[in-house]
Amino acid sequence: MKHVVGFSGGIDSQACLHFVRQKFGDENVIAVNSDVGGHEHPVTTAFVKQFSETVFPIVQVTPLIKDMGGRGTRPGAIKDRRNEFAEDDTLTFERLAYIKGMFPRRKIQFCTEHLKLQPMLRWQNENLVDKGIEFERYAGVRCDESNKRNDTPEREWDTLFNCWLNYPIRCWTKDECFAVIKKAGEPINPLYTMGFGRVGCAPCINSGKEDIRQWAARSPDMIDKVREWEKKLGLTFFAPIKPGVINWVDDVVAWSKTVHGGKQYALPIVEIEAANQMCQSKYGLCE
């Protein structure tokens, strides 16, 4: 029996992996990471590589066009844009948006399916199912992350992967995840010490106001990347701040720098750091 853990480079998946390793032993555990179509920050990519080399090996998978499923014309579409690519071409975040005709949204989050789940399912079928190896899956999902996850069970049958899916840290808080990893002496994704709340996609379509502000201040190249996508595809990356109002990434960045309902600008991040003389971690990681 193998115990497969999805590893994103974020603290929740890292805490989940640590728990599973402690319970079943390293020889029975497999950690798998999908690079989400090259949309990670270089810091996260480097962290996953370092973790794989120094803490626990991470199996790396890259999304492919064929991970979107069968070919054919989509309902309401003139043609299926997948046909413009070979099946084994890399499925980048930009290509995914081009094929779908939109960027993912909170309620239409197809990025998770095509850039994470389907690539890992392909790896699983080739390396476990086809070889007759039994397995269960584990995910670092926590109940306090959102209302949608409040009722996360201890385990449930995963119809996509055709196996049991376990949620061993569902009752943990984010602070508890950091505490466990810190006690274990494992490194933590450096983006957390810079003040980011999300460290997977850079930026995530669900990024909050503070994270967008952090990306613009600390890594403007990530904003430049999104701006180029928007220009090329004619699509907005973020959902409208106000319903019915079209907003481009520069509009969202400008909004992220305001406080009190947009009535005044917040103190620049670099000035906050200079005044406080401390890192920007929300979780006391620099104490």
Q: Per-residue pLDDT tens for 161-183?
A: 999 999 999 999 999 999 999 99
CA distance 34 to 3: 17
CA 117 to chain centre: 11
Q: Write the single-letter amino acid at 250.
A: D
**Residue 267 reports pLDDT greater than 60:** no
Can you tell me whether residue 3 is helix, strand or coil? strand
Q: Structural domains in the chain? A: 2-187 (3.40.50.620), 207-276 (no CATH)
Q: Which residue has the tokens 């699509």?
A: 235
Q: What is the DSSP letter of 283?
A: S
CA distance 199 to 192: 7
Length of the chain: 287
Q: What is the DSSP letter of 130?
A: G
The per-residue pLDDT for range 199-225, each reduced to its tens digit, is 889 999 988 889 899 999 999 999 999
**Residue 74 reports pLDDT greater than 80:** no
| pTM (two decimals) | 0.86
